[in-house]
Each structure stands twice: as C-alpha cells, then as structure tokens.
Structure 1
C-alpha cells in the first residue's frame, strides 16, 4: 500500500448490505479506508 492510497477513504452507502460489504472489502484489499452505511441516517 502506498501513502497516497492509505490517505484516501470511501464512504459506501447502499441498502444492499451484501453488495456494500463486498465493495468495501475489494477497496480495502487495494489499500483504501472504507466506511459502510446502509441508509442516509447511518451515513
């Protein structure tokens, strides 16, 4: 993981919990920080 990637993060908001977690896992494996919310209130 390089420093540029480690400093970036993604907020994933999707009501499909499986899709949101799958996307978060893929981004995390590539060195990104991720947060997952399943609705606007949680975001």
Structure 2
C-alpha cells in the first residue's frame, strides 16, 4: 500500500513540475518573441 501512495504522489508532483516548466517555457518564448517584434 505505501509504495502505491508514494507512486501516486510522485505522479502528481511530476505533473505539477511538468506544467510549471511548460508555463515557464511558454512565458519565456512569448517574452522573447515580443521583444524581437517590438525592437
């Protein structure tokens, strides 16, 4: 039972980190694109 719970927690943590990284990359890409477009 404990290892199953840990695996679920790890899965949720991986999802959270993945979504956060995707958000950071998208934000960086948009900011970079806007900078190139404006300047």
Same fold (TM over 0.5): no
TM bucket normalised to smaller: 0.3 to 0.5
Larger helix proportion, structure 1 or 2? Answer: 2
TM-score between both structures, scaled by the size of structure 1: 0.37
Taking structure 2 as the reference length, what is the TM-score of the superposition? 0.40
